[in-house]
Amino acid sequence: MSSHKIGFNTAVSIVIANMIGTGVFTSLGFQVLGIESGFAIIMLWVVGGILALCGALTYGEIGAAFPESGGEYNYLSKLYHPAVGFISGWVSVTVGFAAPIAAAAVALGSYVNKVYGTVNPVLLALSVIAIITVIHSINLKAGSLFQRIFTIVKVVCILMFVGFGLFHVPQHTVNFSADTNAWKDIFSKGFAISLIYVTYAYSGWNAASYISGEMKNAQRNLPRALFVGTLVVMIIYTLLNYVFLYSVPIPELKGVLEVGYLSANKIFGVQVGQFMSLIIAFLLISTISAMILAGPRVMKSMGTDIKGLSFFATSNKNNVPYVAIIFQSVIAIVLVLTSSFQSLITYVGFTLNLFTFLTVLGIFILRYKHKHIVTSYKTFLYPVTPLLFLGILLFILSYIMVEKPVESLYGLGTVVLGLLIYFLTNKKDNNTVDEISAKVQSS
């Protein structure tokens, strides 16, 4: 059995790689449909970053209290009830990782197709998922090395892109002033709707919590990895969107999926711009890799706890849960073949935010019901940090339900289906609930 443990640097790279993906390279075109002010759009990404930081700071304490792998599945089982944890694990399996893997693969195929029109974007997306699945199904050490290298390359390339972009002289008038129209945009319906795309772009700040059971000194390193990774991404996102807006006129961005491709063409010219488009596609490999690495650890935890799902815990000689990895990738492949990009993002954003809301709310339950647990980390600025997160997220969820009822219903349907599977699984194994409850109470 492999004794390899995930270190702090790899944990940070997993957070960064999970976050920097399709959202930042694709969502701006949808945001400018409802917002015209450059200042308002930058504020959109700052607000999203603050929200993610508040979540990361809160998850740090919960993760230090319950340092096993599994993320929300582990936390919600212990803070609320095993059924709530199971549903969150089910959502992570079907939506939290598989859907973003699909979205990132679709975006990768789309970027490459922009340069090479003969390349089939769907076939490319499926091939990338399959290859990375094989890599991560073999060995955790090899997968960790692959992840670190691709994340470092990703960050360096983005910083180079930002650097060249800041020295670019645009041909259009750029306005980032905080004037009356800018503040009107900030308090508009369009700003609220755009937060859906921004929270999707920032999703992944909790990625390290899914593999904390395989981390070195998780109680110390998990909170640090969550905070450092999220802060780095917040800075990168703000600079990157500034460059996008600085280099491309807002009317040209409206409704466009490949905003990075447009910006690269303006900054570097068509030929170099096409090369940069391929670099962006290459960077999405890191995102797909991070989610294929982290997601199956949730399924493994579920398989360990619930006998009816024990096949998810099946691991190879290197202790890699290859059955869970393959299962997750199969779902991602199905989504690549059946879903539209925009509806996929809204569906993912709504469904995942339900459980991040419950998890952050759980900090109050942790402090009240589990006072005996001593952790090395306490949430910074508690209770302001979790309350700010909960307030903004409740605002976003309410808007999604009103403005995107179909995607919201699909999300709620996924939750209900998870509940049905939980009870059907426990019906086959009547001892499961008692076993998990006893495990929770003994924690």
pLDDT of residue 139: 64
Q: For residue 307, with 0-12 CB atoms within 10 Å meaning exposed, 13-18 middle and 19 or more buried, which class applies?
A: middle
| C-alpha torsion 320→351→16→272, nearest 10 | 110
pLDDT at residue 387 tops 90: yes
Digit-coded pLDDT (tens) for 121-151: 889 989 989 988 888 777 666 666 766 776 7
For residue 6, the cross-strand partners are 215
Q: Is 34 helix (H, G, I), strand (E, B) or coil?
A: coil
pLDDT digits (tens, 9 = 90+) for 7-38: 777 777 777 877 776 667 777 877 887 787 88
Q: 365 or 111, which is more confident?
A: 365
Q: Count Cβ atoms within 10 A of the Cβ of residue 384 and give its class: 0-12 exposed, 13-18 middle, 19 or more buried.
A: exposed
Question: Six-digit token pair at 164?
Answer: 């060249």
Higher pLDDT, 265 or 427: 265
- Per-residue pLDDT tens over the stretch 331-383: 888 888 886 666 767 777 788 888 889 999 999 998 888 777 776 778 888 89
Q: Tell me if 415 sits within 8 A of 354, measured CB to CB.
A: yes
Q: Which of 105, 417, 157 is nearest to 292 (CA)?
A: 105
Q: What's the rounded Cα separation, in Å, for the pair 266 and 272?
A: 10
pLDDT over threshold 60, residue 204: yes
Percent of the chain with pLDDT over 70: 86
* Long-range pairs for 149-155: beta carbons < 8 A, 24 or more residues apart: 150/17, 150/283, 150/285, 150/286, 150/289, 151/13, 151/14, 151/16, 151/17, 151/286, 151/290, 152/13, 153/282, 153/283, 153/286, 154/16, 154/17, 154/20, 154/283, 154/286, 155/16, 155/20, 155/232, 155/236
- Report the mean per-residue pLDDT for the chain: 78
Higher pLDDT, 386 or 341: 386
Res. 434 pLDDT band, cuts 50 70 90: very low
> How open is the CA angle 114-116-281, to the nearest 5 degrees?
60
Integer Cα distance of 295 and 178 in angstroms: 41
Could you give the 3-state DSSP secondary structure of residue 215?
A: strand
How far apart CA 260 and CA 11 sit, in angstroms, is 27
Q: Which residue has the higher pLDDT, 205 or 49?
A: 49
The confidence score (pLDDT) of residue 209 equals 67
pLDDT of residue 195: 82
According to the model, what pLDDT value does residue 432 have? 45
Instruction: Give the single-character DSSP code of 94.
Output: I
R_g (Cα) of the chain, nearest Å = 21
Output the pLDDT for position 441: 43
For residue 438, pLDDT over 50 is answered with no
**Domains of the chain, CATH where assigned:** 8-442 (1.20.1740.10)
Q: pLDDT per residue over 159-169, tens digit each? A: 888 888 888 77
Both tokens of 101, joined, read 């893997």
Alpha-carbon distances, residue 437 vs 62, 82, 198, 340, 360 (angstroms): 19, 7, 37, 40, 21
pLDDT of 40-79, one tens digit each? 888 889 988 888 889 888 888 888 787 776 678 778 888 8
**Which residues have CB under 8 Å from 323's CB, separation 6+?**
311, 312, 314
Residue 176: CB partners within 8 Å, gap ≥ 6?
38, 39, 42, 242, 245
pLDDT value of residue 357: 92
The whole-angstrom separation of Cα 402 and Cα 405 is 6
**Span of 261-265, 270-274, 339-343, 372-376 with lowest mean pLDDT:** 339-343
Written as six digits, the tokens of 292 are 């294929």
| 236, two tokens | 């990168």
- When pLDDT is averaged across residues 406-434 and rounded to a whole number, the result is 73
* Cβ-based neighbour number of residue 381 at 10 Å: 11
Q: What is the pTM of this model?
A: 0.73
Residue 386's pLDDT is 93
Confidence of residue 442 (pLDDT cuts 50, 70, 90): very low
